[in-house]
A = this chain, B = another copy of it.
Amino acid sequence: MAGPLSGIKVLDLSRFIAGPYCAMMLADMGAEVIKIETSISGDPGRSHPPLIEDESLYHQVYNRNKSGMLLNLREEDDKAIFRELLLKADIMVENFRPGTLDKMGFSWDELHRLNPGLILASITGFGQDGPLKDRPCFDVIAQAMSGLMSITGSADGPPMRYGSFVTDYTSGMYTVIGILAALNVRNSSGEGQHVNVSLIDSALSLLMTAIPEKKLLNRTMGRHGNRDRYGAPSSAYKTAEGEWVFIAAGNSLVFPRLAAAMGMPELLADPRFATMDQRLANFDDLEPIVAHWFAAHGTAEVLEILTRENVPCARVNSVDEMLASEDLEIERRLVTVDHPKLGKVPMQGVTVHLSGTPLEVVRPAPGVGEHNSEILKTWLDWSDEDIVRHQATREATHHAE
């Protein structure tokens, strides 16, 4: 591949989402990424639904473009191979619990001694230290603890999880950022670094102004359903067909356009609705007016009128509607990978578009250990004979057990 990370070698020991997604982004950028799994059952993500013929789609969408290697890191033999690979690698990604790598004999200090140029990226729930470091953490746990859930959902309903694994995704992205920054430093210094990202820090980073708002104004950011916190009207409204359309018309630039679109210029002269603050304060008066207008018009008409008046608006698409949307030209945003068992698997394409060294999706997620021989040959210069001998030794050992 000729992407921006062409020539960069990555060992991906991570499981679930954040780590695999991080390493997948590196692979999409053209890095040579080996997904190393330590047992035949592999990454627990492989058994995560939805499954087709025992193959997980979840595994597919977070591990494309990687090759697969099975190494039992509790066996000296495989550990020796792993050590050889480490000497060739530029980057290693892991999301074991803090201390696990140390116990395996691969502490950051040891890794840095073995290969001074290696960049180690560690993703944890709460960081390498502190009272929570040994606690198991998943995306939803970070969402719950950070306050993210408390600011999502209806005002009169329970706190609500985000429909997507936002803290996993963002942790993966922040880790890529740390890795690429470290790579940039290494280009001049030759030295690798240890990159650390935690799910909880990633979740906190998404809290917008909640922290200074509490500390300086003593105001607690809460949840307001689909309503914007600071401007009105910015929310979802039901059209005549009972479909939802979202508008962002809260600010002083857009509200006059909405008033024009609804054919109600008189709203602009109404002192209750003159400023963003007043519209927010008097939203209980304004909301029914807007809702009534939406309810009196069909979805297509609403979208046409609002678009003509340049009011930011969108149908609240289901996944089916999104896929069928002609405007979105969705097909060019997707890629299809060829999987030996599943056939053609469509999924999201690349999000980062580079004019000179474009990202590419060239192969499906690997099977456990699918590329062991290939990697031993290309990374470690093993011959076919070396591989045959190694397999024979291994089988003999296993028979002896």
Q: Cβ of A99 < 8 Å from any Cβ of B?
A: no
Q: Cβ of A206 < 8 Å from any Cβ of B?
A: yes
Least CB distance, A98 to chain B, in whole angstroms: 13
Which of A182-190, A258-266, A291-299, A381-389 lies at the interface? A182-190
- In the complex, what residues of B have CB within 8 A of residue A351's CB? 174, 197, 201-202, 204-205
Q: Cβ of A213 < 8 Å from any Cβ of B?
A: yes
Q: A173-B174, A177-B173, A214-B323 are in contact. Are A316 and B150 (CB under 8 A)?
A: yes
Bound Cα distance A222, B322 (Å): 13
Q: A169-B170, A319-B151 are in contact. Are A352 and B187 (CB under 8 A)?
A: no
Choice from B126, B143, B180, B210 contacting A180 with Cβ under 8 Å: B180
Nearest residue in B to A251 (C-beta to C-beta)?
B44
Q: A108-B355, A194-B355, A246-B140 are in contact. Are A215 and B323 (CB under 8 A)?
A: yes
Q: Are B312 and A138 closer than 8 Å at their CB atoms?
A: yes
Q: Cβ of A226 < 8 Å from any Cβ of B?
A: yes
Q: Are A4 and B323 closer than 8 Å at their CB atoms?
A: no
Bound Cα distance A310, B141 (Å): 13
- In the complex, what residues of B have CB within 8 A of residue A187's CB? 184, 187
Choice from B140, B160, B342 contacting A248 with Cβ under 8 Å: B140
Nearest residue in B to A318 (C-beta to C-beta)?
B150
Per-residue B-contact encoding for A308-345, CB less than 8 Å = 1, 0 else: 00111111111111110111110001100000001001
Which of A56-64, A66-74, A79-87, A390-398 lies at the interface? A56-64
Least CB distance, A274 to chain B, in whole angstroms: 15
Least CB distance, A88 to chain B, in whole angstroms: 19
Q: Are B195 and A354 closer than 8 Å at their CB atoms?
A: yes
Q: Are A147 and B50 closer than 8 Å at their CB atoms?
A: no
- In the complex, what residues of B have CB within 8 A of residue A219's CB? 50
Least CB distance, A350 to chain B, in whole angstroms: 8
Q: Are B244 and A182 closer than 8 Å at their CB atoms?
A: no
Bound Cα distance A231, B162 (Å): 16
Bound Cα distance A333, B170 (Å): 17
Q: Which of A44, A148, A157, A325 has the most CB of B within 10 A?
A: A148
Q: Are B141 and A322 closer than 8 Å at their CB atoms?
A: no
Q: Are A353 and B178 closer than 8 Å at their CB atoms?
A: yes
Q: Are A149 and B246 closer than 8 Å at their CB atoms?
A: yes
Choice from B145, B184, B189 contacting A325 with Cβ under 8 Å: B145
Q: Cβ of A221 < 8 Å from any Cβ of B?
A: yes
Q: A208-B58, A347-B211 are in contact. Are A52 and B248 (CB under 8 A)?
A: no
Q: Cβ of A136 < 8 Å from any Cβ of B?
A: yes
Bound Cα distance A143, B244 (Å): 13
Can you report 21 residue pairs joining A to B where beta carbons are below 8 Å apart? A3-B181, A49-B230, A52-B216, A61-B212, A136-B310, A144-B236, A145-B314, A146-B317, A147-B322, A150-B163, A152-B161, A152-B162, A159-B244, A161-B225, A162-B166, A173-B174, A180-B180, A195-B352, A204-B351, A214-B320, A220-B319
